[in-house]
Structure 1
Amino acid sequence: MPYRKLKIKVCGMKYTENIDELLVLQPDYVGFIFYDKSPRFLTTPWAVFSSTFLIGTRKVGVFVDEQVVNILQKSTDLGLEVVQLHGHESPQMCSELRDTGLEVMKAFRVGDNFDFEQLRDYTVGCDYFLFDASGPNPGGNGIRFDWNNLQNYRFDVPFFLSGGIDVEHVEEIKAIRHPQLYGIDLNSKFETQPGLKDVARVRQFVEALRAEPIHPSYK
């Protein structure tokens, strides 16, 4: 029977050779961080230009409380197709960016008492949500939140699961039955240093996740 295949997003890529190695795996999304306080800040944007992206792999720009004009300029310069907003961006800002033709992914840090109702105003201007763990940094903290909290999410916007995900979590991810779970975001647990991914371990995760149907009723 047909089933849903979760999308794979690998975030925080920084080095040309490493990007090229990753692209062989044909991830669905590759993320580049444009936040200068992050250790994964892309200081060499030409790395994006020099890598060959196959059809089906989308370039994601990650921004934190950046101005719309700067996001649009970076998207034009580097051919970004998706913008991931990881700060305190408003629903209106999300809609403004989406109206330009970009896909918008709004990230939220989910703690034990997180109220998903606050996402209601964002549902109009966002194509995806990304649920990450609470931590000292806007992202890349390498920690998980309690995935049982996902049962409290009841909107129709599909979401990516992020935060401390490692190879050992594959079976637990497969057991999640939430109908809006769309993709998995991989980052710090697959690194040998910030921005440098162990592609062999990414391959191990991808092959394990895609090894069998997650739920036969999904497609």
Structure 2
Amino acid sequence: MKLKICGMKYPDNILEVGSLLPDYMGFIFWPKSARYFDGDIPELPKSIKKTGVFVNESISVIEEKVTKYNLQAVQLHGQESVEFCSELKSKFGTSIEIIKVFSADENFDFSVLKPYESVCDYFLFDTKGKLPGGNGTTFDWKILEKYQSPKPFFLSGGIGIAELDSIKEILKTNLPLYAIDINSKFEIEPGLKNTSLCKDALQCISTIKK
């Protein structure tokens, strides 16, 4: 079970959270976000995959950010098409993981995932809300029972310490849950993470065995 801590913004806080060694650390490059990142990423342990989060961005801008920040993963949080993902995959090959986000609610149509399987490394399910992400609420995880894809996925959307315990139930199934993505429930303010809570999350994740 992997852990991604998303919405990082402040250098000192990035270093503090980085010292906990999460598997992924997310930086949001969507200007309308309260966690928009436009600074410098300090030197992090090589085991942490720096992930750029984009919303309907151009391939040229994504390529620029990947190069500037030496990103290891790209998270697409908008209405990016299969063709767009395919072009990104062709450009970066295996050097960059592509994570395609889908906003989920009780009416989500899982058939839309099929064409993306060959052009993305992972899916990510977040709660459908007013914003592309960071709405701070969970969706009904029971809808994941309809998930038929072999593609591993991230689970996101308003996850706090209390919700982490419920993840054990998902792991009793055959669902290919790969990682948990946390953000707003572990903050002091937007972009500033509570390091102690993040440490608790990592400890909790480490005890969850599939």
Match of 2:33 in 1: 38
Match of 2:187 in 1: 191
Please tell me whether the aligned partners of residues 94 and 125 of structure 1 are also in contact (alpha carbons under 8 angstroms). yes
The correspondence for 1:210, drawn from 200, 203, 206, is: 206
Q: Which range is displaced more, 96-105 or 147-156? A: 96-105
Deviations 1:37-61 (A, max 9, x none): 00000132x1x1xx22212210000
What is the SS of the residue equivalent to 1:210? Answer: helix
TM-score, structure 2 as length reference:
0.95
What is the SS of the residue equivalent to 1:124? Answer: coil
Please tell me whether the aligned partners of residues 105 and 130 of structure 1 are also in contact (alpha carbons under 8 angstroms). yes
Q: Give me the identity figure in percent.
A: 46
Q: What CA distance in whole angstroms lies between the structure 2 residues aligned with 1:181 and 1:130?
A: 10
Which runs of no fewer than 5 residues in structure 1 stay unpaired?
Answer: 1-5
Letter in 2 for 1:157: K
What is the SS of the residue equivalent to 1:43? Answer: coil
Q: What CA distance in whole angstroms lies between the structure 2 residues aligned with 1:8 and 1:52?
A: 19
Q: Once superposed, what is the RMSD of the aligned Cα atoms?
A: 1.0
Match of 2:66 in 1: 75
Match of 1:201 in 2: 197
Match of 2:100 in 1: 106
Match of 1:3 in 2: none
Q: Which runs of 4+ in 1 moved over 4 A?
A: none
What is the SS of the residue equivalent to 2:124? Answer: strand
Shift, 1:150, TM fit: 0.7
Letter in 1 for 2:157: G
The correspondence for 2:155, drawn from 161, 175, 181, is: 161
Please tell me whether the aligned partners of residues 150 and 178 of structure 1 are also in contact (alpha carbons under 8 angstroms). no
Shift, 1:205, TM fit: 1.4
Q: What CA distance in whole angstroms lies between the structure 2 residues aligned with 1:188 and 1:178?
A: 28
Please tell me whether the aligned partners of residues 3 and 205 of structure 2 are also in contact (alpha carbons under 8 angstroms). no
Match of 1:10 in 2: 5
TM-score, structure 1 as length reference:
0.91
Q: Which range is displaced more, 22-31 or 93-102? A: 93-102
Please tell me whether the aligned partners of residues 105 and 129 of structure 1 are also in contact (alpha carbons under 8 angstroms). yes
Shift, 1:98, TM fit: 1.5
Shift, 1:16, TM fit: 0.2
Please tell me whether the aligned partners of residues 175 and 214 of structure 1 are also in contact (alpha carbons under 8 angstroms). no
Please tell me whether the aligned partners of residues 174 and 209 of structure 1 are also in contact (alpha carbons under 8 angstroms). no
Change (3 A) 1:69 1:130: same
Superposition map of 1:173-188 within 5 A? 173-176=167-170, 177-188=173-184
Q: What CA distance in whole angstroms lies between the structure 2 residues aligned with 1:178 and 1:64?
A: 31
Please tell me whether the aligned partners of residues 170 and 208 of structure 1 are also in contact (alpha carbons under 8 angstroms). yes
Q: What CA distance in whole angstroms lies between the structure 2 residues aligned with 1:191 and 1:41?
A: 15
Q: What CA distance in whole angstroms lies between the structure 1 residues aligned with 2:112 and 2:126?
A: 15
